Amino acid sequence: MAKNHHIIFKKRPGVNGEPAEDNFGYEECDYPCDPQNNEVLLKTLYLSIDPAMRCRMNEETGVTYIGPFGIGDRIGGFGGVGVVVKSANPDFQDGDVVHAGFNWQWVENFLETPGEHFPLRKIDSSLVNGQVSLYLSILSLTSGLTSYLGVKVKGHVTPGANQTMVVSGAAGACGSLAGQIGKLEGCSRVVGICGSEEKCQFLTEELGYDSAINYKTKDVSSELQKLCPSGVDVYFDNVGGDLSNTVIKQMNTDSHVILCGQIAVYNKDVPYPPPIPEDVQRILTDKNITRDRYLVLNYPDKFESGMKQIVEWTVQGKLKVRETIEEGLQNAGKAFVSMMKGGNIGKQLVHVGDS
Ligand code: NDP
């Protein structure tokens, strides 16, 4: 019998604790039976590693759209790319390479009925030139579409309006795309905030960001004053906390925060979105700054047109992507822990197997 392995959830880090590798366990499990009744047998090629998994590690996630992991359960992650090993479903053939944006199990091989836990879609290999992992980064729900639709629906970017955009978590999966999209949509200046010199260089030398600030070594407030002399018009916020309070203090009247994520407080026992200090709330109110909750899942009607635009920019070479790939399913927990601490540039993925 062929061998199979999966990752189980072993231990909660605690609502105020940092996730650790021993929260996850790599174990042998049964190899699935042959597919029946519309099922497909899938072999995982790549897994998407996403910050939203952090809230699933608590007993209560604090959000309605995903539930907590059970202790001892196999991790049901976010996106995955795999190959159909054997199909009992007329829509899929053996050898099809497929992807899904949600609920892909952290296991080498598994049975799935397409459409039951997630829509399963075939990969258009002509779009990605063999690099199928792109379906979990630039062509994915949780980074490509999240960045694009965030800018579109919450950013109010107006070509010719000489707007300055600031992006936090700027060298990550969403952030690295958001700033490029801000420019493509018409912002005249884009400034990224991230956690290392290497990341700053990536933003300015490879992605076309005008400038970048290393928040770990620089005073963000004074750097922003220098780099954004006419203030901030659009803030793509992946991070929250003190860093975001500092940015909001330099925002213009009638400007816009794209409240994408608040990773700085994911290891803290606070509601989502977390409360912000009174003085910052007063600035938002006095300056009429919008800061609505943003969840990509709320815009399914815009997925198709959004993806069309992302594909067009990618094919034209206008939108660039980076992936940080950890090798081996046994290292999926390690990859998650590393991403939460800034170990990634661009999208964090795990390479599990080959087709
Ligand atoms: P990233 O690829 O950006 O990885 C997370 C990054 O966060 C790290 O690389 C690290 O970079 C940074 N970070 C971690 N802790 C802190 C901290 N305390 N202060 C500042 N930066 C920190 O992840 P994603 O692009 O996948 O996700 C980005 C955000 O978008 C997350 O908040 C996520 O929850 C959110 N999201 C929201 C969606 C929506 O629908 N609204 C959908 C998908 C994601 P550094 O080295 O710079 O510190």
- Per-residue pLDDT of 294-303, as tens digits, reads 999 999 999 9
What is the best residue among 198, 201, 207, 263 to mutate for testing ligand 1's pocket, by most ligand atoms within 8 Å of CB? Answer: 263
Residue 125 in this model has a pLDDT that exceeds 90: no
- 41-45, 122-126, 182-186, 258-262: least confident range: 122-126
Residue 2 in this model has a pLDDT that exceeds 90: no
Query: What does the alpha-carbon distance between residue 263 and residue 147 come to, in Å, rounded to a whole number?
Result: 15
Nearest CA to ligand 1 atom 39: 295
Q: How far is CA 334 from the centre of its chain?
A: 17
What is the best residue among 238, 259, 292, 326 to mutate for testing ligand 1's pocket, by most ligand atoms within 8 Å of CB? Answer: 238
Mean pLDDT of the 178-207 span: 98
> Rounded to the nearest whole angstrom, what is the distance from the C-alpha of residue 319 to the centroid of ligand 1?
19
Nearest CA to ligand 1 atom 13: 342
> Rounded to the nearest whole angstrom, what is the distance from the C-alpha of residue 285 to the centroid of ligand 1?
26
The set of long-range contacts for 56-65, using a CB threshold of 8 Å and a minimum separation of 24, is 57/9, 57/12, 57/13, 57/19, 57/23, 58/12, 58/15, 59/12, 62/271, 62/272, 63/272, 65/295, 65/297
Average per-residue pLDDT for the chain: 97
pLDDT at 250: 98
Residue 101 in this model has a pLDDT that exceeds 80: yes
pLDDT at 65: 87
pLDDT at 194: 98
Q: What is this structure's pTM?
A: 0.98
Nearest CA to ligand 1 atom 1: 172
Relative to the CA of 170, which ligand 1 atom is closest?
47
Mean pLDDT of the 4-26 span: 98
Q: Residues with beta carbon inside 6 Å of ligand 1? A: 50-52, 142-143, 146, 169, 171-175, 194-196, 199, 238-239, 243, 260-264, 294-296, 339-340, 342, 344, 348
Residue 166 in this model has a pLDDT that exceeds 90: yes
